[in-house]
Amino acid sequence: MGVPMQFSIILQQVVNGLSLGAVYALIAVGFALIFNVLKFSNFAHGGVLGISAYAGYIAANQFKLPLIPVILVGMVTGAILAVLVELIAFRWIRLQKGQLVYFFVTSVTMLMLLEQVLIIRFGASFESYPYTLVKVRVLQFGDVTISVTYLLSLISTIIAFSGLIYVLKKTKIGIAIRAASNDLTATSLMGINVNMVIIAAFIVSGMLGGLSGVLYGISASLSPQIGQIVVKGFIASVLGGLGSLTGVAVAAVVLGVLEVFLISTIGSGLSPVVIFLLMVVFLLVRPHGFAGVSFSDKA
Amino acid sequence: MTFYITVAISIAISSIAVLGTFMLTGMNGLFSLGQAAFMGLGAYATAILVVNYGLPFPLAILIAIALAISLAFFVGYATLRIRQDFFALATFGFGQAMIALLTETVTITGGAMGFSNIPRLTSPALAFISLAIAIFFVWGFRRSHFGKDSLAIRSNELAAEVEGINAFKHKMIVFVISAGFAAYAGALMAFHISYVEPATYGWILSVTWIIIVFFGGRDSLTGTVIGAIILLAAPEALRFTTAWRILVYCVIILLIINLRPRGLFGTWEISLKPFLRFFKSKKQQEAK
């Protein structure tokens, strides 16, 4: 009796971990996409994610929209906001050929600013998406209970990544984004309008951010500090070897599973300590991340 | 009046930590997202040693700084050889781990409720003299050969190594010193506000210090100090609701970085030379 019980608990934790990892992967890929093109850590992505999550919340709560339109509202908001962030915080510095460090400073400032907008509008309290948004809450498979919201994250992530792979591999703008990731100057010398490519990258990244915000909001809760979850994307991006989107997604899923596992064994309090120690060990063993070798020539 | 003095002391103490970030991020180009955790460590270690173990204040400060330096060495050893993103990541992870430890060890630190009833041992004189010494130290650091090596590493690490600079050792020394600065500031702060809690020392505080350095100008010590005073005083000066004033603060920073990317003061430094020249010319005129 005891053994199958244990197994079902482990299986459930794995599913929970995978779905959390899926949301982290969405965040991390949106974050890494901008890193690839402009070579700086875009913390403003967290602000975009946060505002989109709240936009989805308003759509669901006040306009009573069903699930799919709510997700779309989040994604559109994310895309618009990401472009605004580019225009306000990054474009001017880029035109002046400012150093990369300035992008870092403005991106963190943008994160704080967008967070403040949420605090002004919603106060410091916690909100949650209406319960009716996802009609069936759990699915029962024998001993294993799977939350539908978790399943939703998993499926949406798979759809979003399929779309992303299609865009990056098959469409002209996707190929231009990949070219720009390789070498921005050479891309512009080939007659490609680099500003348009960067805007496109921000739109794609914003859509991913908006999606991850809404999904995270549905499966957890909303607070103005939701944007700070971007650091999970940051961790996964660096460990995955910035530059390789696949490596980044894998690292994010590993991080999600690891977090769920740690929380169920030693509790949420001490898990940052273990994650830090594992991170240091990982960096000593694989100093270039999961997919480091392919990136070292670009550094 | 006492209110202004209290605020001024807080600003002076925080400025010491900002000077640590100035050396690390401004001069060496290393982004530490766990710098505030060293401040937290300094605050907690000193407070616990004095309140629970009855150690004298100066000795407790020395132990706290030694603790921060050894932890900085550990973090730096793992990450300073590889790319800078990893350094930022590892310091970030360190900061989160530190906060988790301080929150979880409830019996020693009081957990999330914080550690209170710390005697107010930080006198105004101690705070201001400490800041003056810190400024003098950084000023000397920048003029020294060692400081010039920092700038060389910042602009091109490979070229600096070819010139015979041991970049790893150099960055390690600077990181350790800046951690010591943060820990010292933390100790003074704990004994100034008589209360510490873990949540204060998150990565956002580290980022705020980096913003301050870039706001004032990372190539200007004067700019960093004045920037620190302006930005740390701004929340007190802009007396509308907290949320709005942080919004205004962010907009100001965005404007400065966009319009003056090198910071408010660029490379300008305050110096006595113009005054001396002025007096000299006056004397010459009088002589005529």
The pLDDT of residue B205 is above 80: yes
Question: Under a CB-based contact definition with an 8 Å cutoff, are residues B2 and B115 in contact?
Answer: no
The pLDDT of residue B280 is above 70: yes
pLDDT at position A295: 44
In DSSP notation, B44-89 reads HHHHHHHHTT---HHHHHHHHHHHHHHHHHHHHHHHTTS-HHHHHH
pLDDT at position B44: 93
Kindly report the nearest CA distance between residue B33 and chain A, in angstroms: 11
Domains of chain B in start order, with CATH, are: 2-287 (1.10.3470)
Size of interface A-B (CB pairs under 8 A): 114
Separation between Cα atoms, residue A240 and residue A293, nearest integer Å: 11
With contacts defined as CB-CB under 8 Å, which chain A residues touch B210? Answer: 104-105, 108
Mean pLDDT calculated for residue range B29-54: 92
Question: Under a CB-based contact definition with an 8 Å cutoff, are residues A230 and A43 in contact?
Answer: yes
pLDDT band at A2 (very low <50, low <70, confident <90, very high): very low
B90: nearest CA partner in chain A: A280
CB contact under 8 A, A106 and B254: yes
Quote ipTM for the complex.
0.80
CB contact under 8 A, B104 and A270: yes
Q: Which of residues 76-105 of B touch A (CB under 8 A)?
A: 78-79, 81-83, 85-86, 88-90, 92-94, 96-97, 99-101, 103-104
The pLDDT of residue A180 is above 80: yes
With contacts defined as CB-CB under 8 Å, which chain B residues touch A92? Answer: 258
Q: What percent of chain B shows pLDDT beyond 90?
A: 35
Separation between Cα atoms, residue B213 and residue B23, nearest integer Å: 10
CB contact under 8 A, B244 and A270: no
Which residues are CB-neighbours of A54 under 8 A, at least 6 positions away? A118, A121, A122, A127, A217, A222
Q: Rounded mean pLDDT of chain B?
A: 87
CB contact under 8 A, A238 and B89: yes
pLDDT at position A145: 77
Return the structure tokens found at B1.
Answer: 């009046």
Give the pLDDT confidence of B212-270 residue by residue, as tens digits: 898 888 888 888 999 899 888 877 776 666 677 778 878 888 888 888 877 778 777 77
pLDDT at position A4: 54
Separation between Cα atoms, residue B35 and residue B212, nearest integer Å: 14
Kindly report the nearest CA distance between residue A16 and chain B, in angstroms: 23
CB contact under 8 A, A276 and B257: no
CB contact under 8 A, B214 and A109: no
Which residues are CB-neighbours of A95 under 8 A, at least 6 positions away? none
Mean pLDDT calculated for residue range B75-84: 82
Return the structure tokens found at B107.
Answer: 């019996």
pLDDT band at A128 (very low <50, low <70, confident <90, very high): confident
DSSP helix/strand/coil, B14:
helix
pLDDT at position A292: 56
The pLDDT of residue A101 is above 90: no
| pTM score, whole prediction | 0.85
With contacts defined as CB-CB under 8 Å, which chain B residues touch A34? Answer: none
Give the pLDDT confidence of A233-258 residue by residue, as tens digits: 888 888 887 667 888 899 999 999 99
Separation between Cα atoms, residue B77 and residue B279, nearest integer Å: 52
Which residue is listed with tokens 């400025």?
A: B15
Mutate to test the interface with A, among B71, B73, B82, B91 (most CBs of A within 10 A): B82
Mean pLDDT calculated for residue range B119-139: 91
